[in-house]
Structure 1
Amino acid sequence: MKKKNEKAEYAVPAVDRMLDIAEFLLEHPEPIGITEVARALKIPTNSAFRILKRLADRRYAEVDPTTGGYQLGSGFFRLGMRLSARYDLRIKARKHLEWLCRRTGDTVQLHTQNNGSAIVMDVVNPSVEFFMQIVVGSQLDYHCNAFGKCILAFLEEEEIRRILPPRLPSRTPNTITSLPKLLDELTSVRSTGLGYDREEYVQGIYCVGAPVFDVSGRVIAGMGITGLAGRLDMEEKKHIETLVLTAAAMISDDMAYDGTRFLEWGIKLDEQRKNKSVA
């Protein structure tokens, strides 16, 4: 009963009706009239008209010029393609995540951009007794997350400022809470292709990440390993860095990235930042 009341508390009738209409059109690909939609969904004809008209204005519905009936529009196709690309990334990345997990013995993560936070798209856990348990779908802060930093590093500074909170929350004594200091670190990420979480999110946990790019050269993800900081010596760190860069490059290659825009985009962002500093 409590769950039902909670759902009712957050219900928005107009939004529910719009989604009902969209799902109805999805199930009926042929153009269908307003009266038929209203009758099938048991909603007022005037409400169905207003919702369909608004959907059409935003290109989420289209009007058939012959019958005057409605069908789903290109807006939903556009959203579907974006969502499809996200799942396509997960499928193509999986074998490389598994490869990296086998080679390092550490938990391997794949993060993508999700407005104000990085979302865990996939996780591969090692076959050992103790490992860092990460839940797929979790949302994590960008600024103290190795994989989130790899995403931020290849965004315009204005976009970085837009998606980060006004104050960067501190998770551990090592968390970077100064935006200028974070921007300096992102410059290093662009230079080396590697992002780090030096016990910044959870004490005792160390992460090494690298960016993933798509066919257009746009950063679409950050990926890498999560392990115990205490067991990571300098020699082991260098080995892991090489493996992480290799895995990220293989994923980018499978996403049809041609490998030429990484340096170009990094140089562009660094030049923009230098010009702002001079101004």
Structure 2
Amino acid sequence: MSAETQGGFQSIAAVDHALAVLKTLATSAEPLGVNELARRIGLHKSTVSRLLRTLENHHFIQRDATHGRISLGLGVVALAGPMLGAMDVIAIGRPVLERIANTTGETVSLALWNGKEAVMVEQVLGTRTVVHYTWRGKAVPAHSTAVGKIFLSFLPDSEVRPILTAPLERFTEFTIVDPDKMAAEIARIRQTGYALNVEENELESCGVASAAYDFNGKVATVLNIAIPKYRFDGEQQLRLAEIVVEGARELSGKLGYGNRAR
């Protein structure tokens, strides 16, 4: 495998050439033959043919059955799909966040699941003097946040059990670290459709969250309302729970949930 220096670092030629193939196909208005592809990239036909065989094995390119012309394959879509899906969720969800933030005066956010933690990907700040703020891309623990507990509640029991039996980190005196209590909390969330965080991750910081579903009936994102503890009494908990569940239902509809062909 050859390498060449570009911009002060070692560039692997085969990777550069494979990317050149994909970029050329992406900018072409029509499928290309091997000869034309090789000419545009400036490589020998035999080199391009070898690259194409590898890319085809991974479904990054496809050939039409009649002339063997080449275009991008579904493997590229699968690779970019998670990122594009996240971008769609953010774009579609922001008006819902804005409406809830204006209605409640509290900060509203969206979170995605990275397989271990909830990641905050969008937020709209509340209109009150004191509001909660978090940065986009921040990962928050699963067991001590409302958004994280929602994601946990949708995992199969076989995946939840190892998480609960591992030592749960205590962040405040209110963090649930007992596995049985957390299992009961998850059962309650599955029944009610929303999760609460009452100073479990940070003192004076609370939240209420609910899941929004995509076209396939899977959790697309979790919607969360953050609120300081002094404004989060029992009555307000119930009010915001109703609002966040309704907001998640609205977002689910915008994401196509319930419209899947039977």
Q: Which amino acid aligns with 2:106?
A: D
Cα shift at 1:41: 4.4
Give the match for residue 213 of structure 1: 213
Structure 1, unpaired ranges of 5+: 260-279
Q: Which has the higher helix share?
A: 1
Give the match for residue 172 of structure 1: 172
Give the match for residue 93 of structure 1: 93
Count of aligned residue pairs for this structure pair: 253
Cα shift at 1:159: 4.3
SS in 1 for 2:154: coil
TM-score between both structures, scaled by the size of structure 2: 0.79
SS in 2 for 1:212: strand
Moved more, 31-40 or 147-156: 31-40
Q: Which amino acid aligns with 1:211?
A: A
Give the match for residue 126 of structure 1: 126
SS in 2 for 1:153: helix
Cα shift at 1:195: 1.0
Cα shift at 1:167: 5.0
- Give the 3 Å change call, closer, same or farther, for CA 216–45 of structure 1 in structure 2: same
Q: Which whole-Å CA distance do the structure 1 matches of 2:152 and 2:134 have between them? A: 21
- Give the 3 Å change call, closer, same or farther, for CA 224–237 of structure 1 in structure 2: same
Percent of pairs identical after alignment?
Answer: 27
> CA deviation digits over 1:186-213, x for unaligned, max 9?
1111011111222222222111101112
CA RMSD, aligned part only? 3.2
TM-score between both structures, scaled by the size of structure 1: 0.75
- Give the 3 Å change call, closer, same or farther, for CA 99–184 of structure 1 in structure 2: same
> CA deviation digits over 1:81-131, x for unaligned, max 9?
554443332233222211211222111011122233322232010233432
Q: Which whole-Å CA distance do the structure 1 matches of 2:214 and 2:174 have between them? A: 32
Give the match for residue 61 of structure 1: 61
Give the match for residue 151 of structure 2: 151
Q: Which whole-Å CA distance do the structure 2 matches of 1:100 and 1:143 have between them? A: 25
- C-alpha contact 2:153 2:189 (8 A) present in aligned 1: yes
SS in 1 for 2:131: coil
Moved more, 102-111 or 137-146: 137-146
- C-alpha contact 1:151 1:220 (8 A) present in aligned 2: no
- C-alpha contact 2:119 2:137 (8 A) present in aligned 1: yes
- Give the 3 Å change call, closer, same or farther, for CA 60–129 of structure 1 in structure 2: same
- Give the 3 Å change call, closer, same or farther, for CA 80–205 of structure 1 in structure 2: same
Q: Which amino acid aligns with 1:200?
A: E
Give the match for residue 224 of structure 2: 224
Q: Which whole-Å CA distance do the structure 1 matches of 2:19 and 2:200 have between them? A: 41
Q: Which amino acid aligns with 2:97?
A: L
Q: Which whole-Å CA distance do the structure 2 matches of 1:66 and 1:164 have between them? A: 56
